[in-house]
Chains A and B, each alone.
Chain A
């Protein structure tokens, strides 16, 4: 069966510090991978998606970047965190394309930038 892991579960970082959040998927090949963020008072927002190794698309301009160095590994990074980067970050995966393409979510990382 497929599983998705995210770490760390919680993170408190000072403004201006770097960030690296990791997501890995097991039990599937060539998944689509996604990073979502829920900021305070807002819905989940799609930040990045990837359909393959080193293929990253950004949905919104921001202070963050994503990388996919391996088929089932998706990394969210920042060189210098802003207060507005605080939120709950969810990684998700799916396989294939189409209207019934279901996404499966990881446990999430709560990031607080102080």
Chain B
């Protein structure tokens, strides 16, 4: 059973502040790493798919980095806004059947005005 860990479990951030959180995974099983944003009452929305060690992806104020050798990824949010409030999920693709994903429990982010 693969273990994908996310920390912290929840996070309160003041509007305008920047924040980051962590996803760790077994490096020996790495094929790709996905980040999703899951807002209440909506479907999980894909943010990034990352495969290369040292890769950095960016979408607006959100960015992510990847270290496949040590088995972690960071997600950064710059200048947090209330609409950033959501649960952020990371998921490991270990190259198994049909690229099924192993998810962490998520980081629940609350932006306080």
Q: Residues on A close to B: CB < 8 A? A: 4, 32, 34, 36, 41-46, 49-51, 57, 59, 90, 94, 97-108
Contacts and interface: CB of A to CB of B under 8 A. Distances in A.
A102 B44 CA distance: 12
B76 interface: no
Nearest to A55: B98
A32 B43 contact: no
Interface of B: 4, 31-32, 34, 42-44, 46, 49, 51, 89, 91, 93, 95, 97-106
B51 A49 contact: no
Given A43-B89, A99-B32, A57 B97 contact: yes
Contact of B49 (A43, A51, A102): A102
B103 A44 contact: yes
Contacts of A32: 98-99
Contact of B99 (A43, A98, A104): A98
Contacts of A104: 43, 46
Contact of B100 (A34, A98, A102, A105): A34
A1 B100 CA distance: 23
Interface centre among A36, A41, A43, A45 (most CB of B within 10 A): A43
